[in-house]
Structure 1
Amino acid sequence: MLGALVKSLLGSSNERYVKSLGKIVDQINGLESQIEALSDEELQAQTPRLRALLDKGHSLDDILPEAFATVREASRRVFGMRHFDVQMIGGIVLHRGEIAEMRTGEGKTLVATTATYLNALEGKGVHVVTVNDYLAKRDAEHMGRLHNFLGLTVGVIVPNLNEYERRDAYAADITYGTNNEFGFDYLRDNMKHERSQMVQRPFNFAIVDEVDSILIDEARTPLIISGPTDDKSELYIAVDAVVKQITPDLYEADEKTKNITLTEDGVEWVERTLETAGLLVGSNLYDVENTQVVHHLDQSLKAVVMFKRDIDYIVKDEKVVIIDEFTGRMMDGRRWSNGLHQAVEAKEGVRIEPENQTLASITFQNYFRMYPKLSGMTGTAATEAAEFYDIYKMNVVEIPTNVPVMRVDEEDEFYKNTLDKFGAIAKLIRTKYETGQPVLVGTVSIEKSELLSDFLTKEGVKHSVLNARFHEMEAHIVAQAGRLGAVTIATNMAGRGTDIQLGGNVDFRIDDELSEMPEGPERDAAIAAIRAEVAADKAKVLAAGGLCVIGTERHESRRIDNQLRGRSGRQGDPGLSKFYLCLEDDLLRIFGPDTLFSKMMNSNLADGEAIGSRWLSKAIETAQKKVEARNYEVRKQVVEYDDVMNDQRKVIYEQRSDIMDAEAVDEVVVDMRHDTINVLVADACPAGSYPEHWNVAGLKEKVQEILAIELPIEAWLEEDGIEPEIVEERITALADGHMAQKMGQDDPAIWRQVEKSILLDRLDHYWKEHLATLDALRQVVFLRAYAQKTPINEYKQEAFSLFERMLETIREDVTRILSVSELRMPEPAQLPELPDFLTGHIEPLTGLENSYDGDGSARVPELFGSFAGSPQAGVGSGAAGEDPYAGLAISRNAPCPCGSGNKYKHCHGALV
C-alpha cells in the first residue's frame, strides 16, 4: 500500500531513472545550435577532435554530449531525420550497458547510431548484432552512410565471406552482423593454428538488436561447429519404417517436453518387430548390444510423433529446414543434434546427412558475457527483466514514447473450436478490408496461416501470407502491410526489423516498382507520384482507424504477443489490437488449468458463440507465466552445464593462444616431458614403498614406449638407498639427453615449428574427444538423481576429473611423439616457406577440406617427410617407420596406395 502511494507521488524507479537522464539530454540540446552552425567539413572534423580528447585522458562520458550532438546533426544532413529527445535517452542507456525497451516505430536503429559512434571513437571496435543477414546488410549500408560521413569505417559479417573479407570487416570501427556469425567466427578462430589466420579482435562493446529474441529465445541451444561421423542412414530408414507402424496405444506422449515413452505392450511389440527386421541382437531391446538401436528408436519416435511438418520444420529443396518456433523463420544450416535431424530426414524420405561430432561449441550466454560492455534494444524486454539481470547483469530501462500511444487493445474473444474462431476472424477481416483499414494477422505456425488463408479466399479477401515459405519476400511484404486495404498474415512478427508505415513504405515501393527505370526526369516524376499516393493513402488509413492487429491465438510467451500488438499504433498513430482464442489452442490445451476446460465445457458454449471475460484472460496469462518459467529453467540449465565447459574452454583457448603467440614452445614441451616422467614413476614406484614392490617391468616398458630410451633400472636397484625421487631424476636426465641429441641433428628452427605443430594438433584432437565425452555425460548424468544426488554437481565433478585426465593424456602423447619420431629431411631446395606450416584445417561450417591437411594437423609430414620410429607409423605396411611412397607427390587426403582403404595421412603418411 505504501509502495503504491510512493509510486503515485514520485513515479516508479524506471520513471525516476529516465527523468535523471534528461539532464544529459539538456546538455546535448544546449550544443545543438553550436553544432548546427558547423560546415560539413567542420562537422566531419569532430571525429578526430573527439578522439584527441580521449587520447588526452577524457572519458567517453565526458565527451558524450558533444558526440551525441554531432551524430544528431549528421543524421539531419544525411537522412533528413533528427533524433528525438527520447531517442537520445535510449542512446545513453545503450552506452551504459543496459537494455533500452522502446516501442515499435520509435526508431531503435537510429537510436543505436549515437552509442555506436561514441564507443567507436576509442578505436577498439563496436559490434552491432542483428537477428538476420538481411538486417545486418541493410543497417550496415543505411547507417553506414551516417558513420562514413563522420569518418568512421563500417564492416558487415554475413555468410560466405572469405577470411580476408572477415578480417577487414572486424577491423572496421563498427561491424554489423548476426549473432550466429559472430559466435561461429569466435569458435573458428580458436581452431586455427596461427594468430595471423584469426579474424576477430579482442571483445569491446556490443549492441544487440532484438535483444530478447537473441539472448532469450535463441539462447536455449548452443552454437556448435561439428564434423561428420560414420554414415548410419540405412539404420535410420529401417527404424523409421518400424516406428511408422506403431499405434498410439503403444506409447505415451508428453507434449510439454516432446518426449515419447513406450508402454509395456509397446516394448514387446517393438522387440518382435525389430527382431523380425533383423535389427535386434537377441530378444531383449534393452540389452547392451542394442544400445544404438534404442537410441535410434527414441529419436525416430520423437520425429514421427512429436515433430510436425510446416510447424517445427519444412522440406525445402529436398532438405529438412528447422523453423524457429518464436520467429517463424527458417534456420538454414541449423540441425537438431543427437540424431534427431537424421530421424526427421528418414521420416520425410529425403537424403540423410551423416551425424556430426562436436568440434567446438559455446552458448550465446557465455559468448556475449565475454564483452566487457554489452547492451541491447527491443520493444519487449520487461517481462524477462529478471533473467536479463541474472544471466547478463543488464538492467531493462523502459523508454517513453515520443508521442502518447493511441492504440486500443480490446478484450480477448473466446470460441469453442478452431473453425469457429477462424470463421469469426475471417468475417472481421472482411469488414475491415471493405472499409480500407489495413489488417495484420499473427499466427503461430505455417499450418494455421495457410488455414486462415483458405478462409479469406472463400470470403473474397485479397491478402499476402508471410511465413517461412516466403522468407525471401519478408521485408517487402511487411513494409507494405500498412497500405490501404492490405491484409497480411504473418507466422510471427518477432524481430522482423521492418517498420510498418501507414499508407505504405515509400522507399520499398520505389525499389519494387522503379528498380529498372533509369535516372532522369521520368523517374523523378514517378517517385513524386508514389510519394503523393502514399500520403493520400495514409490519410485514408488514419480515417479508417489505423492498422488493425489480430492474434489468432496466444503465444507461449507474453513478449511475442506484445511484439505483434506493438506493430500497431506507432508514433501516435491510431490502431486496434485483438486476440481470438479457443479450447483447441496449444497453450490452453497443454498448459491451461484443468478447471478452465471443465468450466468452459460446462457452460454449454454453442457452436459459433463467443465469450470474453477478465477471468479468462487471467487464466491465459497464468498459463503463459508457467511456460515462461519453464523455458527460463531450460535456459538456466543450459547455462549451468555450459559454465562447467566454459571454464575448461577458457583454459584450452588461452593455452592455444599462448602457443600461437610464442616463438618457441620448448619450455612447455620440457615441462610436459618432466610431468609425464613424474606420473610414470609415481605409478610404478609409489612413495613410501620398498623397491621390491615396484613395478619395474611396467616402468621399463612405459619408458621405452613413451621416451624411446632403454632403462638400466636393474643396476639402479642394486644401489643402497635408492628412492623414487632418484629414479625420477635419472630418467629425466636420460630423456633430456636423448632429446638434446635428437634436436642437435636438425635445424633448431624446424624443431621449434614441429613442437608447436604437434602441441596444437594434440591439444585440438583431445579437446574434440573431451567435448564428445562431456556431451555423452550430459545425456545420462540426470540418472544420478535416482541415487539422491544432484546431477549438476555430479557433472561438475566428473567433468573436472575428465579434464585433468585429458591434460595428462596430452602431456604424455606430445612427449611420446617427439621422443619416438624422427625427422627425415628432403632436399633443402624442396623446403617451402615457413609461413605455410600451420594453415591447414577443415572449414567447420561447410566441412570442405582445403588444399592443406584437412584434419587440422600441421603439414609437417608432407613438408619434411614422414615421422619414422612411431609405433603407428606405417600402418598397413607392417614395417614401422618405412614409407615406400615418401618420394611420390601423394595428397594427404588421397587413399593410401597400399590398398588399406585408409587415407594416406592415416596410413603410410601418418604423423603418429
Structure 2
Amino acid sequence: MALRDRLRRLVQRPGSVDPAPFRAIAEEAGRREDRVRALSDDEITAAATALRGESGSGGPRDAGDLAELCALGREAARRTLGERPFDVQLVGALAMLAGHVAEMATGEGKTLAGALAASGYAMRGRRVHVLSVNDYLARRDAEWMGPLYAMLGVTADWVGQTSAPDRRRDAYAADVTYAPVSEVGFDLLRDRLVTDPAGLVLPEPAVVLVDEADSVLVDEAMVPLVLAGAADLDPADPAYADLVRRLRPGLHYTTDDEARNVQLTPAGAREVERALGGVDLYASDHLGTLTAVNVALHAEVLLHRDVDYIVRDGAVKLVSGSRGRVALLQRWPDGLQAAVEAKEALEASPTGEILDSITVQELIGRYPERCGMTGTALAVAGQLTEFYGLEIAVVPPNRPCVRDDAPDRLYATTADKEVAVVEEISAAHAGGRPVLVGTRDVAESERLARRLGRTGLGCVVLNAKNDAEEAAIIAEAGAYGAITVSTQMAGRGTDIRLGGADGGDRDRVAAAGGLLVVGTGRYHSSRLDDQLRGRSGRQGDPGGSVFLTSLQDDLVTRYAPDEKAKGAPGDDGLITDKGSHWIVGHAQRVAEGVDLELHRNTWRYNQLIGLQRGTVMAERDRILRGDLADRAMAERAPERHAELVAIAGEEAVADAARQLALFHLDRRWAEHLAFLGDLREGIHLRSLGRGIDPLIEFNAEAVPAGKRLLGDARDRTVEAFTALTATKEDGIDLAAAGMKRPSATWTYLVHDNPFGSLDERALRGLISLFKGRR
C-alpha cells in the first residue's frame, strides 16, 4: 500500500496535495469514538471548549488535537443532526483546516465537512466567513448546522440580501458567519463610506471558507461588485433600439466568427445616417450618437433573450453562464444595460456614479487564510494556485462510484441531435428510469420541453425563470419515471436521492438503472460537464450519463469553426469516426484557454487598481479611527486650526477635520475610478493603432494618476478647512462646506470584461469601417 501511494504521488496532478496525513488523523479519531460516545452532551461541549485553549497557539493544530476535534465533531453531528460523518468527510474537513480546497463528489456531505472545518478554525480563535453563492444556501446551511455548532461551543449566524445593518453586525460578530459572497462584498463597499467607526458592519477578515469554490474563485472571480450613488445620467434612447432592429445582417452589419463583435458596414453606416436625418456619424460632434448606435447594435444582435438574460417582473435579469441561474443583482455596464432595456421596451433602471467597486477575487484575497470545497476543482488547480495560492485535496468517495458514463455521441446537425435526445429520454422513461437533462440555456430547455410534450412525455423544467423552486424540483428528480429538464443550475447544493426526496421508491428506481443524466451538448468548460454528470451516482448509487453533441453546437462553431468531420454521418446523423470526436474536445480546450487568458488579463488590470485601492483605504481607515486629519490640519493650517479651536473647541474641530478629510478622499477616489474607467475604454484605439499592449498603455497613465490622488485629496481638505466658518453659539458650519454626498446609494454586480469590452469591439468596428470607406 505504501509503495502504491508513493507511485501515485509521483504522477499526481500539479496543484494537488497528498491526503494521506488527513486519513491517518481520521483513523485516529475513529479509535477515540467509543470514549467520546460515552460523554454527555454537556461533557462534549466542555471538551470542545477546552480544546480551544490546549494548543499553545490556540485551538486544535497538532495531530492529537485534530483527531480529538474530529471525534467530538463526529459525535456532535450524530446527536444533533442524526448524521455520523464518514472518514472521507473528516478528511475533507482536515484538508480545509490545512488551507486547501477539498474536492468531494456530489452527495459526499460537503456541507457537514465544511461545518467541521469552520468549527476547527473558530476553536483557533479565528472568525470564519463561509461564503456561498446565494441567500438560500447561506441560510439553509447556517440553520441546518446550527445545532452542531452549539454543541461544540461555537456561535454561528447568517447574512442575507434583506438583512438590516444591525442584523448584519450581530451576524458578523459570531464565530462562523454564512453569507453570499456578494453580500460580504457589498458590506465591505458600504463600510468604505461610513463617517463614524460605530457605523462599520464588517469585521477585519480572518478566514474564508468558500462553497462551490471553483464557481466563485474562477468563474466569477473577476465580476466587479459595485457601490453606486445617484447621478443624473440619461437613459438609452429607444429610437436607437428601433433603428438597429431594422438593419439587415450581412448588408448593414457583420459579426465575427465567435459572435463577440458586431460592426456596421459602410452601407449600414449610410443607412443609419439617413435614418437620423443625414448626420455624419464620424464627425466629432456626433461621436456620442455613434457610441449609442453601436451599443444598441450590440444589445440587439449579440445579447439574446432567454439565453443571456430573461425578462421577469418588468426587468432584465442576467443569466449566469456558469450556473444557469439568474445572476442576482448583476447588470451590464450602464450604457449596455440601458440599451437592452430599450430593446425590450422596459423602463430604464437607475444609473449612477460608481463610488467604489471590488472584484470577487480581490475580496477573497483580503482574507489571510483561505480554503474551500467543491465537486470539481482539480481541473482548475493551476488557476487556484496561481491566483490564490491554494492547492487541491482530492477526497475519494465513501463508496466507489458505479455510474456508467457512456461515450459521447456526435451528430452532424443540431436537428439530428435533438431527435436523438428525445429518443434517449423516451427509452429510459419507458423503463421507469428517472432522467435529468442538462441543457445550455433557457431557450433550449423550453424548446426541448415542447418537443417532449409533443411526443406525450411530461417533464418538469428548471431554469432561470423558476429558480426559486430549484431545491424542490431537483429533490424530486430521482423519482420513478421523472423527467427533469434543467439548465446548468442543476441544483448544486441539493441532493438527488433515488426514489424522490423521501427515498421511498429507491429500490424500484435502482432496479431501473438509477438516475440517467443526458447532456444536450458539451459546455464551454469540462468542469460544468463533470458537475452535471456528478448529479448521478451519488454515494455509490447506480446511474448513468451520456452527452449528445453536434458539429453545429455553439461550442464547435465558435471555437473550432474550421474543423470538419472526416467520416460521413449515418442515416440518423450519427458520426462514428473517432477523429471527428476530437473536434468537440479540441473546441472545449480552446474555450477553456480563452477563459483563462481573459482571467489573467483582467486580473492584471485589476491588480493595479487593487493596489491603489489598498493605499487609499488604509489612509481612510487612519482618518476614520484616529486623529490623523486633525493633526494634519494643525500642521498645514495652524493659524486657522487655532482660531477654530478657540471658537468651537478641540473636539468639534477634530470632528470637522475628519469629516472633511473623509469626504474629499471619497470624492477623489470616485473621480479616480471614473478616470480609470474612461482610460480603460479608450486605451484600445491607441494600443491597436500603435501595436502596443493596452495594459502597458493603461499602467503608463494610471500609475501617475494614482500617485497624485492622496496629495490632491489632502490639498482639497486643507482648502476646505481654511474656508470653514464658526460661531460660539452654533459651532462649526459644516453644512456650508459643500460636502454633498449622494442622496441614495445602491449595490450591484457588473458583467464586464475590460479587455474584451464593448468599446474595444466598437473601436475595432470603427477601424474596419474607415478601411471600407477608403
Q: CA 1:116–1:57 in structure 2 vs 1: closer, same or farther (change >3 Å)?
A: closer
Look up the match of 2:714.
811
Alignment length (residue pairs): 738
2:520 paired with 1:556 = no
Aligned partners of 1:71 and 1:113 also within 8 Å: no
Q: CA 1:59–1:465 in structure 2 vs 1: closer, same or farther (change >3 Å)?
A: closer
Q: CA 1:148–1:587 in structure 2 vs 1: closer, same or farther (change >3 Å)?
A: same
2:510 paired with 1:542 = yes
Q: Alpha-carbon deviation of 1:284?
A: 2.6
Deviations 1:510-564 (A, max 9, x none): xxxxxxxxxxxxxxxxxxxxxxxx33x1001111111000001111111101100
Look up the match of 1:397.
393
User: What is the identity, as a one-letter code, of the residue corresponding to 1:126?
Assistant: V
Partners of 2:209 and 2:58 in 1: CA distance: 25
Look up the match of 1:758.
660
Moved more, 172-181 or 283-292: 283-292
Secondary structure at the aligned position of 2:387 is classed as helix
2:35 paired with 1:60 = no
Rg comparison, structure with higher value: 1
Partners of 2:17 and 2:746 in 1: CA distance: 48
Q: Alpha-carbon deviation of 1:797?
A: 2.5
2:149 paired with 1:153 = no
Partners of 2:123 and 2:75 in 1: CA distance: 17
Look up the match of 1:642.
606
Look up the match of 1:46.
47
Partners of 2:262 and 2:367 in 1: CA distance: 40
Deviations 1:376-426 (A, max 9, x none): 111111111111111011012211111111011111112233233222211
Task: Choose which of 457, 460, 469 in structure 1 pairs with 2:456.
Answer: 460
Partners of 2:490 and 2:102 in 1: CA distance: 17
Secondary structure at the aligned position of 1:127 is classed as strand
Q: Alpha-carbon deviation of 1:256?
A: 2.7
Q: CA 1:476–1:433 in structure 2 vs 1: closer, same or farther (change >3 Å)?
A: same
Q: CA 1:289–1:355 in structure 2 vs 1: closer, same or farther (change >3 Å)?
A: farther
User: What is the identity, as a one-letter code, of the residue corresponding to 2:229?
Assistant: G
2:108 paired with 1:106 = yes
Deviations 1:258-277 (A, max 9, x none): 2211122222222222235x
Aligned partners of 2:29 and 2:67 also within 8 Å: yes
Aligned partners of 1:225 and 1:844 also within 8 Å: yes
User: What is the identity, as a one-letter code, of the residue corresponding to 1:624?
Assistant: Q
Aligned partners of 2:230 and 2:743 also within 8 Å: no
Look up the match of 2:724.
821
User: What is the identity, as a one-letter code, of the residue corresponding to 2:406?
Assistant: E
Q: CA 1:329–1:596 in structure 2 vs 1: closer, same or farther (change >3 Å)?
A: same
Partners of 1:569 and 1:210 in 2: CA distance: 19
Aligned partners of 2:630 and 2:653 also within 8 Å: no
Look up the match of 1:656.
620
Q: Alpha-carbon deviation of 1:456?
A: 1.0
Q: CA 1:271–1:53 in structure 2 vs 1: closer, same or farther (change >3 Å)?
A: same
Partners of 1:778 and 1:350 in 2: CA distance: 29
Q: CA 1:790–1:739 in structure 2 vs 1: closer, same or farther (change >3 Å)?
A: same
Look up the match of 1:328.
324
Aligned partners of 2:97 and 2:117 also within 8 Å: yes
Look up the match of 1:775.
677
Q: CA 1:254–1:48 in structure 2 vs 1: closer, same or farther (change >3 Å)?
A: same
Moved more, 334-343 or 541-550: 334-343
Partners of 2:730 and 2:634 in 1: CA distance: 30
Look up the match of 2:759.
none
2:699 paired with 1:796 = yes
Secondary structure at the aligned position of 1:793 is classed as helix
Deviations 1:121-166 (A, max 9, x none): 1333111111111111110110112112222211101012111100
- Give the root-mean-square deviation of aligned CA atoms: 2.5
Partners of 2:451 and 2:426 in 1: CA distance: 10
Secondary structure at the aligned position of 2:611 is classed as helix
Look up the match of 1:622.
586
Partners of 1:67 and 1:102 in 2: CA distance: 20
Partners of 1:293 and 1:840 in 2: CA distance: 31
Secondary structure at the aligned position of 2:575 is classed as coil
Q: Alpha-carbon deviation of 1:664?
A: 6.1
Deviations 1:21-61 (A, max 9, x none): 32222222222222111111101112321123246756633
2:722 paired with 1:845 = no
Aligned partners of 1:192 and 1:841 also within 8 Å: no
Partners of 1:764 and 1:294 in 2: CA distance: 33
Aligned partners of 2:634 and 2:641 also within 8 Å: no
Look up the match of 2:546.
578
User: What is the identity, as a one-letter code, of the residue corresponding to 1:795?
Assistant: F
Secondary structure at the aligned position of 1:765 is classed as helix
User: What is the identity, as a one-letter code, of the residue corresponding to 2:511?
Assistant: A
Q: Alpha-carbon deviation of 1:812?
A: 2.1
Aligned partners of 1:439 and 1:550 also within 8 Å: yes
User: What is the identity, as a one-letter code, of the residue corresponding to 1:634?
Assistant: L
2:216 paired with 1:214 = yes
Aligned partners of 1:363 and 1:639 also within 8 Å: no
Q: Alpha-carbon deviation of 1:607?
A: 5.7
Partners of 1:425 and 1:540 in 2: CA distance: 24
Q: Alpha-carbon deviation of 1:741?
A: 3.1
Aligned partners of 2:436 and 2:483 also within 8 Å: yes
Q: Alpha-carbon deviation of 1:16?
A: 7.9
Partners of 2:5 and 2:579 in 1: CA distance: 27
Look up the match of 1:701.
none
Task: Choose which of 409, 434, 437 in structure 1 pairs with 2:405.
Answer: 409
Partners of 2:657 and 2:146 in 1: CA distance: 45
Partners of 2:721 and 2:11 in 1: CA distance: 71
Aligned partners of 1:213 and 1:495 also within 8 Å: no
TM-score normalised by structure 2 residue count: 0.91
Partners of 2:5 and 2:373 in 1: CA distance: 31
Greater relative contact order (Cα 8 A, min sep 6): structure 1 or 2? Answer: 2
Q: Alpha-carbon deviation of 1:212?
A: 0.8
Look up the match of 1:484.
480
Partners of 2:467 and 2:5 in 1: CA distance: 50
TM-score normalised by structure 1 residue count: 0.77
Question: What is the percentage of aligned positions where both structures have the same residue?
Answer: 36
Q: How does 1:261-300 map to 2 (within 5 A)?
A: 261-276=263-278, 283-300=279-296
Q: Alpha-carbon deviation of 1:841?
A: 6.9
Deviations 1:629-685 (A, max 9, x none): 1011111111111111111111111111111111463222245x3xxxxxxxxxxxx
Partners of 1:839 and 1:298 in 2: CA distance: 35
User: What is the identity, as a one-letter code, of the residue corresponding to 2:464?
Assistant: A
2:419 paired with 1:451 = no
Task: Choose which of 587, 608, 633 in structure 1 pairs with 2:555.
Answer: 587
Q: CA 1:428–1:737 in structure 2 vs 1: closer, same or farther (change >3 Å)?
A: closer
Gaps of 5+ in 1: 277-282, 507-533, 674-734, 833-837, 848-912
Partners of 1:607 and 1:182 in 2: CA distance: 55
User: What is the identity, as a one-letter code, of the residue corresponding to 1:777?
Assistant: L
Partners of 1:238 and 1:103 in 2: CA distance: 51
User: What is the identity, as a one-letter code, of the residue corresponding to 1:545?
Assistant: G
Q: How does 1:707-722 map to 2 (within 5 A)?
A: none
Aligned partners of 2:49 and 2:152 also within 8 Å: no
Partners of 2:743 and 2:559 in 1: CA distance: 45
Look up the match of 1:877.
none
Aligned partners of 2:475 and 2:497 also within 8 Å: yes
Partners of 1:95 and 1:6 in 2: CA distance: 24
Partners of 2:614 and 2:164 in 1: CA distance: 26
User: What is the identity, as a one-letter code, of the residue corresponding to 1:657?
Assistant: D
Q: How does 1:149-188 map to 2 (within 5 A)?
A: 149-188=151-190
Task: Choose which of 72, 76, 81 in structure 1 pairs with 2:83.
Answer: 81
User: What is the identity, as a one-letter code, of the residue corresponding to 2:673?
Assistant: L
Q: Alpha-carbon deviation of 1:595?
A: 2.8
Partners of 2:594 and 2:413 in 1: CA distance: 27
Q: How does 1:214-613 map to 2 (within 5 A)?
A: 214-233=216-235, 235-248=236-249, 249-254=251-256, 256=258, 258-276=260-278, 283-493=279-489, 496-506=492-502, 534-535=503-504, 537-596=505-564, 599=566, 603=568, 605=569, 608-613=572-577
Q: CA 1:475–1:374 in structure 2 vs 1: closer, same or farther (change >3 Å)?
A: same
Q: CA 1:427–1:789 in structure 2 vs 1: closer, same or farther (change >3 Å)?
A: closer
Secondary structure at the aligned position of 2:558 is classed as helix
Q: Alpha-carbon deviation of 1:842?
A: 5.8
Q: Alpha-carbon deviation of 1:198?
A: 0.9
Look up the match of 1:96.
98
